Structure 1
Amino acid sequence: MKCISTPLTLIIGFIFLLFPIVINAQTTETPKPESEVKYPQFQFKGLFQGRFLAAMTDDVDVLGLQHSTGEVTKTSFDVKRMRVGVNTKISPETEVVVLVNLADFKSDPKGKVLENAYAKYTFSKYAALVGGQFRAPFGIEDQVSVDIIKSFDFSNQYYEFGKNGWTSFQLGASVLGSAEIGKIPIDYAITIVNGNGKDQEKDKDNGKQYFTRWVFGLSKKNKINLGLNGGMGVVFTQDVFAVGADITSNFKLADKLHLELQAEYKQGTNHNLYFSLPVDGRTASVSDYQMRGFYFLPNLRYSIAYNRLSSIEISCRYETFDSSYKIDSNVRQTYTPMISLEFGKAYTGRIELGFTLDNYEKDIPDTSVYSSNLFLIQLQCRL
């Protein structure tokens, strides 16, 4: 750590000097009456996320890969995301959304780059129809963009469930809306997807995955929401399932101080792992391969409103995840402490500093399944 302290100090100082230049003041416009609005309307968006990475574990590189022999890349700059998108409102009810991540071109872009590509028709607040490629609603992390989450990136379970067709960008259709039961507001989504990820020419088989998400507003004052998820499907004639539950809240501790809490549990069939194994190296039933995970994410936010600095946030996500807890269990525990400085409104600009501390129950040499520690500085700008 001593060998990189000086470069880190210079980098942090440079970023702080840069931000007053790249963050501009925001303006608001008075909305026009609906009768004066002309269509189509275009809203262009963008996101830049650049990072400095420093591996802090011997023989492990910045991507988490352990090397038994040879030189290891211990520090590196990286562009995590360079997103460009457009939301086109064709009518008051119809919109088309396109989002691409140009940073995916740095490696093989096959199955990457195009993220959102869908159309949405809103009948009323009770029902809207979405079709195309979109983030299927199956948990907290599917409801928020990566640029406003309270950590560096999504959780390990989010990406693993995405590989199995339940989260992240999927091709399919969804009906969603809002209603009330008594005084309890409810958001719902009912979804059907191919289940083999984004940017695919066709479904991998004739099976589909069906799932639903229901969110109940339990407290308006403290913004306590309970989410329940469940799904089933067929993959290469094998029955698969996934379930989950989550809760979020936001407690006002003082005028400018808030404590935001998230907790989420998921469990489901890891058919992606099952079908990646040789036939003679797995059991006869896909149900023997199940994944489960839990994470807890507290975030303390202080609204400072000092010049362009809007807030300071401190968070630390704890996560435990096992990709196959019934057979060859190998629990992965991850701690992600982070401090975030927000500039402008709604994370227009953001500087994040912290660590990703990974611990596996069993380390496997020369793979990324290996305990390691990583230091990160992440610079974010939303356009």
Structure 2
Amino acid sequence: MSDLLRLKIIIFIFLMPFLSTAQTSTPEAAAKDEDGVQYPQYKFKGLLQVRHLESFGDNVDAMGTHHSGTDFTQSTFDIKRMRVGLNTKLSEATEVVVLVNLADFKSDTKGKVLENAYGKYTFNKYIALTGGQFRPAFGLEELVAVDIIKSFDFSNQYYEFGKNGWTSFQIGAAAGGAVDIGKLPISYFFSAVNGNGKNQAMDKDNGRQYSGRLVFGLSKKHKINLGLNGGMGKVFDEKVFAIGADITSDFKITDQLAFDLQIEYKLGTNHNLYFSLPADTRVRGLDDYLMRGIYFLPNFRYVVNYKKLTALEISCRYETFDANYKVDPNVKQTYTPMVSLEFGHAYTGRIEAGFQIDRFDKNIPNTAFYNNEVFLIQLQLRL
């Protein structure tokens, strides 16, 4: 199937709800619940992120990869995301969510484009069931959309744990809800997934990865939440695991100035790396191929409300991550200072500028494991 044909199919899929809305606008065709609310209800969503990248590293391209030769690009414009989404509420309890990233058509689309594709049934606040392709709750970043995070993109650990089936878009089923134990609010999430990424025809090995998350609301005033994550499973009949902990807080310093902080730690088996290596090059067993990382993301937000400018934000994420710290350690430290101008509310419009600075214990020529400094300007529009 050609990329053009895929694009036509996707456009047709997203036009269908609007055509069906016109067809079901008559009282005879519309379904209403006991309170007279009409279903289905459609909510269209979109996100555009375009950016300019400029590399200041020696022989390092705009994407952070080192080159020994001279044929590479250090300055470029890029479309990071062009997402189109549709949330359909079939009833008060039932919804279907679809999300695609059309920017994936700029390269090989295999395993890409379709991101969310799931149905959710909410019984009550205590339990909701989800099935399909979704982001399993395993950390802070899983519960926040990329367009409202306080940095340019998700962390290094998010993407590496995604390659190992714990985060990012996975196919499976999940349950979640919230309870109050005394005055302590607790949210819980449990997921069972194939663990081999999005848009796969079937599981690769008959294995499953199970993960759980608990979030404790420690302070409502300062929005202090503690999250604990744990996961286990089997990949090619080998046991794998992952654990994590995170904390968030949001302090209102004045009526206009606020400070929020995110801290997240993860540790787990890097079975994706292990099984990608030829068997004769694996120097130890799977249990020794471990990844771990931690990041700190402080953010200051100053509400301006001057003409079209809503707020000014300043953040700087610091992350240290090692994809194989026991067998072949090479710590990657990433600094991401950023200034953000918000236009409208809820990041409807956003202009971001800053750097992504990577430092490795060991530079490896002609790879992305090489010291680099990339300057970014990003325009974000969402609806």
Same fold (TM over 0.5): yes
For residues 325 and 195 of structure 2, the distance between their equivalents in structure 1, rounded to whole angstroms, comes to 22
Percent identical: 67
For residues 65 and 257 of structure 1, the distance between their equivalents in structure 2, rounded to whole angstroms, comes to 38
For residues 210 and 358 of structure 2, the distance between their equivalents in structure 1, rounded to whole angstroms, comes to 33
**Per-residue CA shift, 1:141-186, capped at 9, x if unaligned?**
0000000000000000000000000001000000000111110111
Is 1:204 equivalent to 2:204 in the alignment?
yes
> Are the counterparts in 1 of residues 284 and 327 from structure 2 also a CA contact under 8 Å?
no
For residues 209 and 72 of structure 2, the distance between their equivalents in structure 1, rounded to whole angstroms, comes to 41
> Are the counterparts in 1 of residues 300 and 313 from structure 2 also a CA contact under 8 Å?
yes
Q: Which residue of 1 aligns with 2:249?
A: 249
**Per-residue CA shift, 1:301-335, capped at 9, x if unaligned?**
00111111110000000000000000010000000
Displacement of 1:79 in angstroms is: 0.2
The 3-state SS of whatever aligns with 2:35 is helix
For residues 213 and 281 of structure 2, the distance between their equivalents in structure 1, rounded to whole angstroms, comes to 35
Q: How does 1:332-351 map to 2 (within 5 A)?
A: 332-351=332-351
Displacement of 1:34 in angstroms is: 7.0
Q: How does 1:119-268 map to 2 (within 5 A)?
A: 119-268=119-268
Q: Which amino acid aligns with 2:247?
A: I
- TM-score scaled by structure 2? 0.91
Unpaired runs of at least 5, structure 1: 1-31
What is the number of residues matched between the two proteins? 352
CA RMSD of aligned residues (A): 1.1
Q: Which amino acid aligns with 2:80?
A: K
Q: Which residue of 1 aligns with 2:105?
A: 105
The 3-state SS of whatever aligns with 1:35 is coil
> Are the counterparts in 1 of residues 205 and 235 from structure 2 also a CA contact under 8 Å?
yes
The 3-state SS of whatever aligns with 1:36 is coil
Q: Which amino acid aligns with 2:134?
A: F
Q: Which residue of 2 aligns with 1:285?
A: 285
Q: Which residue of 1 aligns with 2:298?
A: 298
Q: Which residue of 2 aligns with 1:15?
A: none
**Per-residue CA shift, 1:111-142, capped at 9, x if unaligned?**
00000000000000000000000011000000
**Per-residue CA shift, 1:30-66, capped at 9, x if unaligned?**
xx99723100000000000000000011200001111
For residues 137 and 175 of structure 1, the distance between their equivalents in structure 2, rounded to whole angstroms, comes to 10
For residues 60 and 191 of structure 1, the distance between their equivalents in structure 2, rounded to whole angstroms, comes to 39
Q: Which amino acid aligns with 1:248?
A: T
Displacement of 1:74 in angstroms is: 1.2
Q: Which amino acid aligns with 1:265?
A: Y
Moved over 4 A (4+): none
Q: How does 1:57-136 map to 2 (within 5 A)?
A: 57-136=57-136
Q: Which amino acid aligns with 1:207?
A: G
Displacement of 1:376 in angstroms is: 0.1
Q: Which residue of 2 aligns with 1:13?
A: none
For residues 282 and 34 of structure 2, the distance between their equivalents in structure 1, rounded to whole angstroms, comes to 60
Q: Which residue of 2 aligns with 1:25?
A: none
For residues 277 and 172 of structure 1, the distance between their equivalents in structure 2, rounded to whole angstroms, comes to 27
For residues 284 and 238 of structure 2, the distance between their equivalents in structure 1, rounded to whole angstroms, comes to 10
Q: Which residue of 2 aligns with 1:28?
A: none
For residues 279 and 71 of structure 2, the distance between their equivalents in structure 1, rounded to whole angstroms, comes to 36
**Per-residue CA shift, 1:273-297, capped at 9, x if unaligned?**
0000110100452111000000000
The 3-state SS of whatever aligns with 2:68 is coil
The 3-state SS of whatever aligns with 1:178 is strand
Displacement of 1:70 in angstroms is: 2.1
Q: Which amino acid aligns with 1:147?
A: D
The 3-state SS of whatever aligns with 1:158 is helix
